[in-house]
Each structure stands twice: as structure tokens, then as C-alpha cells.
Chain A
Amino acid sequence: MAETHSLQDLQQPAVSSKVFVQRDYSSGTICRFQTKFPSELESRLDKQQFEETILTLNNLYAEAEKLGGKSYLEGCLACLSAYTIFLCMETNYEKVLKKIARYINDQNEKIYAPKGLLLTDPIERGLRVVEFTIFEDRSIDSTR
């Protein structure tokens, strides 16, 4: 029997829902995300695993926004050079963001993709939310 195949079905699993982890402003305007475990993920994910991921992300953002000797030095040097120094080198924040992107990629490959989840980098959402995309287990069901 002839089957009609939808390209989408073959390549992409259907998105079931999205879960958003909001920002935590209890310590001010620094970038932190809430560690409260969302109920929608209970069936897919360990609470511990979730907390570990979020806490690592929070620590990385804290490192990017840290006020200290290094950041002050960078700022003063930039000011004195009329900010032309940023044509040659990238800021500390940009370096940490690259680190975060690598970490999320790593987590997605190792932990979340096998469970049918996708973690979206918060920078793509304007640092407002951490987005978990839950995919339907259609591929798994069809093989059974």
C-alpha cells in the first residue's frame, strides 16, 4: 500500500509542549533562574538532574557578571582606549556565554536528547527564561 510520507514526520518529532523556567530576582537583577522543579517534567526527568543543570547555569552566569579586579581592569582599559580594544578582544561576558553554549550543547547530547527533551540556551530568549521543549515519543512508539 502506498504511504504518504510527511517530511516533517520523518525528520522532526512533534513538539508536545514547552516548559519555561523563569528568572529568580531574589538577589537583585543578576541573572539567576528558579530552581523550582516544574511539574510537567516530572515524568521525564530527575529532580536532581534538573537542579544540577540549573545551578551550573546560575554559577556560570554569576561568573560572567562578577564584579572584581579583573572586570574593573577590563572596563578601565576599555575606557582609556576609547573602547577600541573590543575590536581586538572579546569581553569576559562573551567568553562565558560561549562556555555556557558549549555546556548546554553537551547536556543536550548526553542527557536530554535521549529523554526527548531539548534545552534552549537562555540567550536566545533574551535571558528571560530557560526553555525545555518536550517532544512526543512518536518515534519510540512506532518502532514498538
Chain B
Amino acid sequence: MKNCEYQQIDPRALSVSPLSVQNHAEKKVQRRRRKWEVFPGKNRFFCDGRLILARQNGVLPLTLGLILVTSGLFFAFDCPFLVTHLTVFIPVIGGVLFVFVVTSLLRTSFTDPGILPRATADEAADIERQIDSSGSSTYRPPPRTKEILINQQVVKLKYCFTCKMFRPPRTSHCSLCDNCVERFDHHCPWVGNCVGKRNYRYFYSFIISLSFLTSFIFGCVITHITLRSQTGFHTYLVASNLTTNEDIKGSWSSKRGAEESGNPYSYNNIITNCCATLCGPMPPSLIDRRGFHLPDEVIPVASALEMELPPFTPKSNANMCTRSTKDVLERMLHSSDFHGLCPSGIQKTTPLVQEVPRAPATAEPSLSSGCSRQLAHQAVVDPCPPFSKSNRRDSLHSINPAFRLASPSPTLSRSMPVLGDGCAIGFMPQH
């Protein structure tokens, strides 16, 4: 072994110094600091450098809080109601969107946006040398820009004094984070981090999924409100062609669950029901508010006609029958009770009464053809008077059940005997 000169260690110092030396050496071996601990930028690190955040994390807690509170309220209040009234997929979709939003947000916040590490001292020195050598000889410091060609286009690269390097294209220095970030988009306070090359996709998926979540929750809340409110209730009535009165009394709800069952006025099509109720023809006002009051002439028009007709029937020749029938038919055509009366008049059978709603459609052509046939055949004269009375009775009987459902109008009661007569006269030959 070579005779090397070693400094003699003072034994008195052994008790103190070697320990500290040993510890120092051990510390140096054990305590190797990670790069994040000596990172020069203004960033905060979590989980031993796995997660990075800006020092000024802005309103990230507020963003998270808003999302959690809104979603929590949605799941707590809207979901139970909508699951029972609509479908179980509502909280499922809401849950998936919520998970997407939160994971995107956390990824955006805690991902390195593309920070460029600062140049080492050697690099900086090398660049300075290059600038000095290529710069002008005057005392004025040379402009810290470099022009390069990118795809045949001239682009100026700026020198970053903090990071001591020429910034690559599309790189910008964020003053809040004190870092150069590649493909720098912006510093987002909501997310508490810069948005750059590495976290732009997470940022984008965050804002997209947040838009979907917001509109979904908004839609569900509106649905919930309408289902619970007056608007919803009346929309339901319009769609099923019901009145509040009928709904409360349960006139047509013999079978629970089938909405349109039992309702004779429904067109069995939601759209048709809505159109009929809301966009149907506007009926005129029947009370003639601006007409002049005639205190003496109280005789209604229909009863005058009633008094007219019976004198005709005893004369009873074919022409008279035909003419009166024509008048009556004309009046029938103008009357709103046309549909209800005539079918029962034709067949004179009570079972027909139940088919009143459907009969009008089918009976009309037959009626008109029947009526015209009567006119063409020139109805037999003799049977007119005797039959008229009996038929009048029958027709009255047959007419009444058809209108059992609705309250009989005064016009109806007046015109009924007239029309009954007319029908009786007109359809006798058929009998």
C-alpha cells in the first residue's frame, strides 16, 4: 500500500464530528431530493411530484364545489321523482356525465401542461456566446429574437429571460406560473392551472362534458317542474282530450293505466288531440251580446216553424211532402244536431244510439243518399199524416238517448219535433 499522506484525525473531535460527518454522508445518500422539490417555477406539487398545480390555484375549489353541489342536489331531489315517473336511466346518464366531468377537471388541473424546463447553465452560456458572436459590435445589446423558417414562412422566436433560452414556436411564458409552456393556450383560473400542449384535450373534454351535464340537469329540472305543476297537468289534459271536471270525476278512467280508454272524445292520437283542442276552429259566440233586446217578440223562431209545418201535413200531396222535406233537410244541414238525429231517424232502432259517435261518419253519406233517394222517388203521399205522428213519437224516443250524455240545449228541444217530422215524412217509403 502506498504511503499516502493522510491528515490525522483528532480523537477528541471523534465524538462530535464523525457523527455529523456520518449523518451528513448518510443524509446525502438517503436524502436525494427529487426535482420537484427544487423546481424553480411557481407551482405546487402533491403526491411526491405526481400531481402539479399552479401556486395561485384560483377558483378551483369553487369550481369543484359548484359541480358537486349542483349534481348532489340533482341526484337527491330530481332523480327519485323522475325514476318513478319516467325511466331509471336518468340517474345512470347523470352519473356517467358527472364522473366524466370530475375526472376531466381533475386531470386538467393536476397534469403538467407542457412546461419547458429551464436551460442549464451551460446551455445558457452557449446561447449567450452565440448571440454575442452573431450580434452587432455596438454597445447596444442585440435584440433577443431569432428568425427561422417554418414551412416556408418566417417566424420570430423570442428569447425568454427567465428560462434563458429561445422559446420554441407556439411556446409562451406564463407569468402566473413563471414557466414557459409549450403550445400555450391560456392560464385558466377555474381549473387552477395553465392549459397547454399536454392538458388541452382534458380541458376540452371537461368543458364539453360540463355543457352536456348542465343541459341534462336543466332539462330534467324543467321536466320535473312541468310534471308537478299546473302547466304539466293541463298539457296532460290537452293531450288526452279531457276536461278537469272529467278528470276529477274520473268519468273515463274505468281502466287505470290506459289513458285514452273510455274517453269517447279522444282521437287516440296525442297530436290530433292537441291540434283539435288548441288549433281547432274557433266557435262563434252564441249569446249575441251586441244584438238589440226585443222585449215584445219573444217567440223563438223554431216554434214558429213548428206551427207552420203541421198545417202542411194534412194537405199531403207528393209535392208538398217533397218541399217540406227539402226545407227540413236544409235546416238539418245547417243545424249542428244533424249527425245525432238522422241516423236514429232512419233505422228507428234504439241499439243504434250507442254507436252515435261513430255512426255520423258512416251514416252521413247513406243519409244524404237516402234523403236524395226519397226526393227522387217522390215519396208516397197517403201514409204521410198517420205515420208522421207515430214516427214523431218514435223518433223522439230514439233521439233522446243519443243526447243523454250531454245536457240538451234549448235549440235541440225546439228543433227535434220538426226534424223528427221531416225524417218521418222523408223516409217512409224505405220502411
Residues of chain A touching chain B, judged by Cβ–Cβ distance below 8 Å, are 2-5, 18, 20, 23, 25-29, 75, 79, 82-83, 125-126, 128-129, 131
Contacts and interface: CB of A to CB of B under 8 A. Distances in A.
Contacts of B5: 2, 4
Interface string B136-161: 00000000000011110001010000
Interface stretch (B25-33, B117-125, B253-261): B117-125
Given A18-B126, A26-B148, A83-B107, A128 B4 contact: no
Given A2-B5, A18-B126, A125-B120, A29 B169 contact: yes
Interface in B390-411: none
Going nearest first, the 7 A-B pairs with the smallest beta carbon separation are A126-B117, A2-B5, A82-B103, A18-B122, A20-B126, A126-B116, A25-B148
Interface of B: 2-5, 99-100, 103-104, 107, 116-117, 119-120, 122-123, 126, 148-151, 155, 157, 165, 168-170, 182-183, 201-202, 205
Nearest to A4: B5
B202 A28 contact: no
Contact of B123 (A20, A28, A29): A20
A3 B2 contact: yes
B8 to A, nearest CB: 14
Contacts of A18: 122, 126
Nearest to A22: B166
Contacts of A5: 4
13 contacts: A3-B2, A20-B123, A25-B157, A26-B148, A29-B168, A82-B99, A82-B100, A83-B103, A125-B120, A128-B165, A128-B168, A129-B123, A131-B123
A23 B165 CA distance: 12
A79 B205 contact: yes
Contacts of A125: 117, 120, 123
Nearest to A126: B117
B4 A26 contact: no
Contacts of B183: 29
B150 A26 contact: yes
Contacts of B107: 83
Given A20-B126, A126-B116, A3 B150 contact: no
Contacts of B99: 82
Residue from B99, B104, B119, B122 having most chain A Cβ neighbours under 10 A: B122
Nearest to A83: B107
A83 B104 CA distance: 9
A27 B150 CA distance: 6
A129 B123 CA distance: 9
B169 A25 contact: yes
Contacts of B169: 25, 28-29
A83 B165 contact: no
Contacts of A83: 103, 107, 202
A101 to B, nearest CB: 17
A128 B201 contact: no
Contacts of B201: 75, 79
Contacts of A82: 99-100, 103-104
A69 B331 CA distance: 80
B239 to A, nearest CB: 39
Contact of A128 (B123, B149, B155): B123
Nearest to A24: B148
A125 B165 CA distance: 12
Contacts of B123: 20, 125, 128-129, 131
Given A2-B4, A18-B122, A27-B150, 18 more contacts: A4-B4, A5-B4, A20-B122, A23-B168, A25-B150, A25-B157, A25-B168, A25-B169, A27-B151, A29-B170, A82-B103, A82-B104, A83-B103, A83-B107, A125-B120, A126-B116, A128-B168, A129-B123
Given A25-B168, A29-B183, A2 B151 contact: no
Contacts of B182: 29
B293 to A, nearest CB: 79
A75 B151 CA distance: 27
Contacts of A2: 2-5
Contacts of A4: 4-5
Nearest to A31: B168
B375 to A, nearest CB: 78
A39 to B, nearest CB: 12
A14 B5 CA distance: 24
A129 B431 CA distance: 112
A28 B150 contact: yes
A125 B124 CA distance: 12
Contact of B151 (A28, A128, A129, A131): A28
Contacts of B148: 25-26
A88 to B, nearest CB: 16
Contacts of A75: 201
B116 A128 contact: yes
A20 B119 CA distance: 12
Residue from A2, A18, A20, A23 having most chain B Cβ neighbours under 10 A: A20
Nearest to A127: B116
A6 B401 CA distance: 125
